[in-house]
């Protein structure tokens, strides 16, 4: 392999703050934020929006439901005019 053209591959902690779930994996991404892992070593932290612990597909329940979209708002305005 050519030297100097490949990104650094390292251990990082992926952290889903919405449920407090974290796991250690390898990635080419890095972060200035660090956290101590269970083995006593310090790793960079990558914050993610959802993980298997919070995604509705894996948990089987909706976490956030939308209160109404454009169609609902239109129907409400139409009902008010009648």
Mind spelling out the 3-state secondary structure of 16-36?
Answer: ECCCCEEEEEEECCCCCCEEE
pLDDT digits (tens, 9 = 90+) for 8-27: 899 999 999 888 899 999 99
Provide the residue-wise pLDDT of the chain in tens; the chain has 82 residues.
788 899 889 999 999 988 889 999 999 998 999 999 999 999 999 998 888 787 777 677 765 555 567 888 888 888 888 7
- Cα distance from N-terminal residue to C-terminal residue, the chain: 72
- Report the candidate in 37, 34, 28, 25 with the shortest Cα–Cα distance to residue 8: 28
């Amino acid at each position: 392999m050519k030297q100097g053209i490949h990104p650094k591959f390292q251990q990082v902690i992926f952290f889903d703050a919405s449920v407090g779930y974290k796991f250690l994996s390898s990635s080419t991404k890095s972060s200035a934020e660090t956290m101590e892992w269970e083995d006593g070593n310090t790793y960079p932290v990558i914050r993610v929006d959802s993980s298997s612990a919070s995604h509705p597909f894996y948990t089987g329940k909706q976490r956030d439901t939308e209160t109404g979209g454009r169609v609902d708002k239109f129907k409400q305005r139409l009902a008010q005019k009648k």
